């Protein structure tokens, strides 16, 4: 596999400048939308959401930032995604051409198939993003031009999905069970049929993919990142709140925010002045509000949707961020909190244990009672051992600096099939690179975030102090 090239040669630069302008589109009679391929060959990304979708999350952010940098390097990138209420059918965001293809899974499959028929011969690369169910677009092109991206396997989170449309309860029950089984069947089928590159974001997901039959030699790990820039130091942070404050971000059902609320309530019985901030909005926010009102839990503030500036301010002022997800691919909230010099308490589950492998927070087990005990420990540290708490904050800040989108892009680009074939002499067979992930010579090797600690689980449980 071709290693990452930090500086283009003059010939490569001239070649990049010679890339033709974006393809011209024409709308043929009816609803059929046709794309005329260009000589450069677009990178076609088939995903379930784009960055403008109101439901977009960390996966869409990472995919968008990677695509934006491909455009910066002279590549043409085309995203094929389902639409959403009120969306434009076509738009350009940060140079990325986004084509939205209907609003149902069936219309998306049909439109994706049509576009692949138009582009599969000329596309430089097809990036097929698997999320719950797959489009199998990676099988429509030769393996050297196909990348399968799997941010995480839903698994048990299927049973915590919000109600599907207006379907009756028995039908919803069947749909979630069918989704769980279908996801597993599709992953096993892709492991059998897809022989190209596979990209994921954590050791936990990689190990899970291997259990479905994917070859570990073909799986690359691209680290996540966030849009919040890490503070220069803990002294540059806003002062913490006078009363111990717990923050909860993104109250969606699969994040189990009710467990965080239950744990906070148990902790608040011992520390009545404690506060809880619910930042952002999600499917569980109304249920949380009803639970707070019904139980009479004091000092709970629902901030609703906030912009990046206010989110950064709130994260700096909170003493700890709690994350109770049943499962994650990585856990972008961990990086966001750490970037604001705030430690994290998270459930000991795949993805979150990867994100907390650097002394940047603690894991907990035992449900709400276990979380309450850990919050109590951290509160005691903040109150009685402020120097230890400041060291924990400093470790969180150091951990956040390990992750940025330029590094993520370096890893991603290093593993792209067309990068391996673009330069002769240094390419290795697919999947045979010695180090999957960090490109040699990019200055990233000492800070590889996916270490043996995240698999062994020992460091997270014992690293109470950095």
In the block, which residue shows the tokens 């690359």?
A: 220
Using CB atoms within 10 A of its CB, is residue 325 exposed (0-12), middle (13-18) or buried (19+)? Answer: buried
Nearest to 411 by CA among 93, 130, 136, 69: 69
For 48, the 3-state DSSP assignment is coil
CB 402 within 8 A of CB 449: yes
Cα-based distances in Å from 251 to 50, 153, 209, 282, 322:
21, 20, 28, 5, 11
pLDDT at res. 281: 87
26/41 Cα distance (integer angstroms): 18
352/145 Cα distance (integer angstroms): 32
Q: Domains in the chain, start-ordered, CATH in brackets?
A: 10-225+404-447 (3.40.50.2000), 234-403 (3.40.50.2000)
Per-residue pLDDT of the chain (466 residues; tens, 9 = 90+): 333 333 333 343 333 333 334 333 333 333 333 333 345 689 999 998 999 998 888 899 999 999 999 999 999 999 999 888 899 999 999 999 999 988 777 777 777 777 777 788 888 999 999 988 888 889 888 888 999 999 989 888 777 766 555 567 677 778 778 888 989 999 999 999 998 999 999 999 999 999 999 998 899 999 999 999 999 999 999 999 999 999 999 898 888 999 999 999 999 999 999 999 999 988 889 999 999 999 999 999 999 999 999 999 999 999 999 999 989 989 899 999 999 999 999 999 999 999 999 989 999 999 999 999 999 999 999 999 999 999 999 999 999 999 999 999 999 998 887 665 444 333 333 332 223 443 433 333 333 333 333 333 333 333 333 3
Backbone angles phi and psi of 130, in degrees to 5? -90, 125
Nearest to 62 by CA among 202, 226, 206, 197: 226
Nearest to 204 by CA among 347, 66, 92, 303: 347
Eight-state DSSP code of residue 222: P
Mode of pairing for the β-strands spanning 197-200 and 146-150: parallel
pLDDT at res. 386: 96
131/304 Cα distance (integer angstroms): 27
pLDDT at res. 164: 55
Give Cβ neighbours of residue 375 (< 8 Å, ≥ 6 apart): 246, 263, 264, 267, 320, 322, 345
Structure tokens at 230: 């890490």
Cα-based distances in Å from 124 to 206, 422, 441:
26, 11, 26
Write the DSSP assignment of 118-143 as a string of letters: HHTTT-SEEEEEEBSB---GGGSS-G
Mode of pairing for the β-strands spanning 146-150 and 245-249: unpaired
319/200 Cα distance (integer angstroms): 31
Q: Which residues pair with 278 in a beta bridge?
A: 248, 302
Using CB atoms within 10 A of its CB, is residue 73 exposed (0-12), middle (13-18) or buried (19+)? Answer: exposed
For the chain, first and last CA: distance in Å? 37
pLDDT at res. 420: 54
Structure tokens at 278: 């619910």
């Amino acid at each position: 596999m071709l290693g990452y090239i930090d500086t283009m040669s003059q010939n490569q630069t001239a070649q990049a400048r010679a890339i033709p302008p974006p393809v011209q589109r024409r709308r043929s009679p009816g609803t059929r939308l046709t794309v005329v391929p260009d000589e450069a060959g677009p990178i076609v990304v088939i995903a379930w959401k784009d960055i403008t979708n109101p439901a977009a999350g960390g996966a869409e952010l990472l995919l968008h930032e990677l695509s934006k940098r491909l455009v910066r390097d002279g590549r043409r990138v085309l995203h094929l995604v389902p639409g959403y209420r009120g969306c434009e059918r076509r738009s350009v965001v940060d140079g990325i051409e986004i084509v939205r293809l209907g609003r149902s899974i069936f219309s998306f499959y049909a439109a994706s198939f049509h576009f692949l028929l138009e582009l599969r011969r000329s596309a430089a690369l097809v990036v097929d993003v698997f999320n719950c169910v797959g489009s199998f677009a990676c099988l429509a092109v030769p393996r050297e031009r196909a990348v399968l991206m799997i941010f995480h396997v839903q698994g048990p989170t299927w049973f915590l999905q919000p109600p599907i449309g207006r379907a009756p309860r028995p039908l919803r029950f069947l749909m979630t069970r069918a989704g769980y089984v279908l996801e597993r069947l599709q992953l096993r089928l892709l492991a059998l049929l897809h022989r190209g590159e596979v990209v994921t974001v954590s050791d936990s997901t990689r190990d899970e993919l291997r259990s479905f039959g994917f070859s570990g030699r073909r799986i690359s790990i691209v680290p996540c990142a966030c849009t919040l820039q890490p503070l220069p130091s803990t002294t540059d942070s806003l002062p913490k709140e006078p009363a111990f404050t717990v923050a909860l971000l993104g109250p969606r059902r699969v994040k189990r925010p009710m467990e965080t609320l239950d744990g906070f309530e148990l902790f608040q019985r011992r520390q009545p002045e404690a506060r809880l901030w619910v930042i952002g909005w999600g499917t569980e926010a109304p249920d949380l509000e009803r639970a707070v009102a019904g139980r009479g839990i004091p000092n709970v503030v629902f901030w609703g949707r906030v912009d990046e500036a206010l989110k950064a301010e709130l994260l700096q002022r909170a003493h700890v961020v709690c994350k109770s997800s049943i499962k994650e691919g990585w856990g972008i909230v961990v990086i966001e909190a750490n970037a604001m010099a705030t430690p994290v308490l998270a459930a000991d589950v795949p993805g979150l244990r990867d994100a907390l492998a650097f002394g940047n927070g603690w894991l907990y087990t035992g449900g709400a009672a276990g979380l309450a005990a850990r919050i109590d420990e951290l509160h005691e540290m903040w109150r009685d051992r402020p120097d230890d708490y400041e060291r924990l904050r400093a470790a969180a800040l150091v951990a956040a600096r390990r992750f940025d989108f330029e590094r993520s892009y370096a890893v991603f680009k290093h593993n792209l099939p067309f990068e391996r074939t673009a330069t002769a002499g240094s390419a290795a067979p697919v999947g045979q690179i010695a180090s999957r992930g960090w490109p040699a010579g990019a200055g990233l090797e000492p800070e590889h975030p996916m270490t043996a600690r995240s698999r062994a689980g020992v460091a997270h449980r014992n690293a109470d102090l950095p």
